[in-house]
Amino acid sequence: MDIPDATNIDVTEAWLTEAEKLKMTGRHAEAIKVCEKVLLSDLECIEAYEEIGDNFLSMKEYERAEKALNRAVKLDSTSANANYLLGFTYSALGDWVRSIEFLENADGVQANHPEILRCLGWSYFHYGQKKRGVIVLERALNLAWDDCLILCDLGVCYLNEKNFERAIGLFEKVLKLEPDNEKARECLKACRFFKREYERLNRNHSA
């Protein structure tokens, strides 16, 4: 059995740490280059492929993210992070079937993770399993009540289902947590507008 080279492991960890720092400051292209250095010495470094995929996602280069993350999943099909990121990628591409497949894999490995459940619920909803999607998003919210991404996604789903009161409550909560969240502000305006219009149409219909 080959004994791992401790020096190589330390260098790889240092490079991955550096890539993470670059990613967090928005220097995605630089982070990718650092990860590519890791792959020059270890072509089977799952974490490097995951980082590359995550950075391409931030750059909205979904096809390149897909390529890197597919490689990560092939190397380790039980990686919750690789499955989650690949599921997220397919969600961004509108491929709901494959999105659900990989997000369910991620949930099977790392159950009750709010971010995985958020994306899974969103994909269920847009695939047409609307009730299931809302239930999963509500589960995510129960686990992370102050997560504005979950609150916004759930609010959009309720708006689509014409549950205006629930949607308004969710977007109001986002604005309490993040007063400068313009997406939530615009969605709240839309909810109030459609609520008024829906009530007016109902009144006219019953008159």
Residues 114/140, Cβ–Cβ less than 8 Å: yes
Say which DSSP state 4 is in: P
Reported as a pLDDT band with limits 50, 70 and 90, residue 206 is low
Shared domain for 43 and 68, answered yes or no, is yes
Question: By residue range, what is the domain housing residue 186?
Answer: 145-207
Residue 167 belongs to some domain of the structure: yes
Residue 3 belongs to some domain of the structure: no
Reported as a pLDDT band with limits 50, 70 and 90, residue 1 is very low
Residue 202 belongs to some domain of the structure: yes
Mean pLDDT of 84-109: 98
Residue 61 belongs to some domain of the structure: yes
Shared domain for 52 and 19, answered yes or no, is yes
* CA distances, 96 to each of 64, 80, 149, 189 (Å): 18, 18, 19, 28
Residue 68 belongs to some domain of the structure: yes
Shared domain for 26 and 66, answered yes or no, is yes
Q: What is the pTM of this model?
A: 0.90
Q: Tell me the percentage of the chain whose pLDDT exceeds 90.
A: 88
Q: Which of 147, 199, 136 is nearest to 170 (CA)?
A: 147
**Domain at 32, CATH number:** 1.25.40.10
Shared domain for 72 and 118, answered yes or no, is no
Total domains, the chain? 3
